Chain A
Amino acid sequence: MKSFTVLQGIVAPMDRANVDTDLIIPKQFLKSIKRSGFGPYLFDEVRYLDQGEPGQDCTNRPINVDFALNQTRYKDAAVLLARENFGCGSSREHAPWALEDFGFHCIIAPSFADIFFNNCFKNGILPIELDANVVDGLFTEVYANEGYSMTVDLATQTIKTSLGETVNFQVDEFRKHCLFNGLDDIALTLNSADAIRSYEQGWREKSPWLFDVIK
């Protein structure tokens, strides 16, 4: 797993609620059997004016100039500022893959959809939940200040904005530990292999119809 320690970067706004995973990465790109290369198609339907196809070279596609990520000031953004229920919809991990491939390593929103939130941690992306009014304030600052950036420090659980403000955030201790150290969570779980085997044996005795049937 990729690690996350300290991130310093430009903040870009995604100013709409209920951004769904179809919007983050449309379905035609899910045909890929790879984990990488989704960045050029992030937010494809609102970022470009035409319909994107997998494998397409995006350099000459007509862009939607009103879309924030197409504006020069947000070109190298690493933090995405978003609204309520970000990442709702499907379980596609292609959504965090696309965000990460584009260059986003932190997403700040008042709330996230469960599966998306979970998928972020598996890909070195830190999703941060902040109060809606704090997020509102950050949107105002992003719009008012070109080059607005922040430093996100996972160890101290603090955000320092380029205007000098500090915001604290919460993160689950175990997730923090795994993300900070970039741990392989399969290897971690396999440390409990004896417990899994022991559970499995008892469960097999209790519910034998769940075993050795599908083959």
Chain B
Amino acid sequence: MSGQTLYDKLWHSHLVEERDNDCGLIYIDRQLIHEVTSPQAFEGLRIAGRQPWRVDANFAVPDHNVPTELHERSGGVAGIIDPISRLQVQTLDDNCRDFDILEFQVNDVRQGIVHVVGPEQGVTLPGMTIVCGDSHTSTHGALGALAQGIGTSEVEHVMATQCLLQQRMKNMLVRVDGTLQAGVTAKDVVLAIIGEIGTAGGTHHAIEFGGEVVRALSMEGRMTICNMAIEAGARVGLIGVDDITIEYVKGRPYAPTGEQWDRAVDAWRELHSDDDAHFDRVVELRGEDIMPQVTWGTSPEMVLPVSGIIPDPATMDHAGEREATERALQYMGLTPGMAITDIQLDTVFIGSCTNSRIEDLRAAATVIQGKHVAPTVKRALVVPGSGQIKQQAEEEGLDKIFIAAGMEWREPGCSMCLAMNSDKLGVGEHCASTSNRNFEGRQGFGGRTHLVSPAMAAAAAVAGHFVDVRNW
């Protein structure tokens, strides 16, 4: 019998009841809650007269709707100008109070994007099962946790039962061996993987990321990769636990201490796939081959190296691919044969649950230090992922570097990644964005998103168009 994958181990250790057809009732250790996908779940509990199964398994923080400009932010919930957003954030506060759930409210220094705050606070720990009504919950898999996004009905289900009924996933291994070139980052690795397997490549699978390149990454880089597992179609991204994971978790506010820490570490050391584990699919990439990536279209799989040329739909045999490319080029206002480096930018956005951690901000600051945003770039935003990251960046002087370069230094939140607050693109604007989705309208009605790493975004801000950050 072959060994177990990390996914198999996490599945079996949380299996409450096995059902037919490879389904199971699995126990959920942690539910992360934000304001957008929870109000209807709380309402459902109230209507049915149900209580949360285990209050201490839940943790909440508002992030999607919160303003990131200080003048609007400083008034707290009451200061949110958009009345519909304000009601949604207020509703989260009210629900957490009524159900006695721990929440970091809008102006708590620990507030931030839920997928940044969870690991930062030790609310996320290795070996856990974690759910959240947000598809980028895959982020937490970087710590060796089985973490996934769910819909609001399931948010209510987990609140009421502490369990999730689901089909066991298939196992996929994406192995990246070798080393990365200087200037190539975790973001480029995951975009290259999505370019390789497509946005449906990981459907029905849990993707484990492994290989020398992944092992050498910091936790920040690993979270960037697992964050975008969903853009490859996989609800779950995973990376096995090693010294880097354990070192990261140690000392976090909600991490175990003393004797419990030692016990936990012993258990966490087992959280990796066995050498002889079977994977249903294995994809291999070489680190040396990965170049800085830029998306040109309206799906994350429409991605090229920065040296690339916009594809020509006329040369495509498959009708569906041709039509999709034509539609994407029309939306993006790009023409076949154009160089990626000739795309002129109006906006630069550095932030989101993909790339707003301290390492991301340092990478962007290193590139932009002593330089200035190009005059043709109308707006460049830097939005830290949490209040604590903001504080740390300010202690390191990163805020001064960004401000001196002509960038705006904002308060933490999801911001322009999905533009639910007032940070949004105008019609036709091109944006170099460190976020995760380049769908039509994602960053604002008619907006045109190009996904890149923080270093590439900073370099593009200075040049006014994309440049190869390896030559910076």
Interface residues of B, CB < 8 Å — how many?
88
Which residue of the partner chain, among B152, B203, B267, B440, contacts A93 with CB atoms under 8 Å? B152
A66 smallest CB distance to B (angstroms) = 12
Which residue of the partner chain, among A17, A23, A54, A88, contacts B440 with CB atoms under 8 Å? A23
**Is A200 in the interface zone, CB < 8 Å from B?**
yes
Whether the pair A31, B151 counts as a contact (CB closer than 8 A) is no
Whether the pair A214, B57 counts as a contact (CB closer than 8 A) is yes
CA gap between A199 and B88 in the complex, in Å = 35
Choose, from B16-24, B181-189, B342-350, B451-459, the stretch at the interface: B16-24
**Is B91 in the interface zone, CB < 8 Å from A?**
yes
Interface residues of A, CB < 8 Å — how many?
63
Whether the pair A91, B135 counts as a contact (CB closer than 8 A) is yes
Q: CB-CB contacts of B219-254 with A at 8 A, as 1s and 0s?
A: 000000000001001010000000000000000001
**Is B111 in the interface zone, CB < 8 Å from A?**
no
Whether the pair A18, B199 counts as a contact (CB closer than 8 A) is yes
Q: CB-CB contacts of A10-48 with B at 8 A, as 1s and 0s?
A: 000000111010110011101111110000000001100
**Is A185 in the interface zone, CB < 8 Å from B?**
yes
Most buried by B among A31, A83, A207: A31
Whether the pair A186, B56 counts as a contact (CB closer than 8 A) is no
Which residue of the partner chain, among A30, A114, A196, A209, contacts B27 with CB atoms under 8 Å? A196
Whether the pair A196, B150 counts as a contact (CB closer than 8 A) is no
Q: 10 closest A-B pairs (Cβ-Cβ)?
A: A209-B256, A122-B153, A93-B151, A33-B39, A119-B151, A91-B149, A51-B445, A85-B200, A93-B152, A91-B135
9 interchain pairs, CB-CB under 8 A: A20-B439, A23-B441, A54-B84, A96-B151, A115-B150, A119-B153, A174-B23, A185-B157, A206-B267
Q: Which A residues have a C-beta under 8 Å from some C-beta of B?
A: 16-18, 20, 22-23, 26-28, 30-35, 45-46, 51, 54-55, 83-85, 88-93, 96, 111, 113-115, 118-119, 122-123, 172-174, 184-186, 189-190, 192-193, 195-196, 199-200, 203, 206-215
Q: Which B residues have a C-beta under 8 Å from some C-beta of A?
A: 14, 16-17, 19-21, 23, 25, 27, 29-30, 36-37, 39-40, 43, 48, 50, 53-59, 64-65, 82, 84-85, 87-88, 91, 100, 102, 123, 125, 127-128, 133-135, 137, 149-154, 156-157, 160-163, 165-167, 199-200, 203-204, 230, 233, 235, 254-256, 260-261, 263-264, 267, 299, 320, 323-324, 327, 418-420, 437, 439-442, 445-446
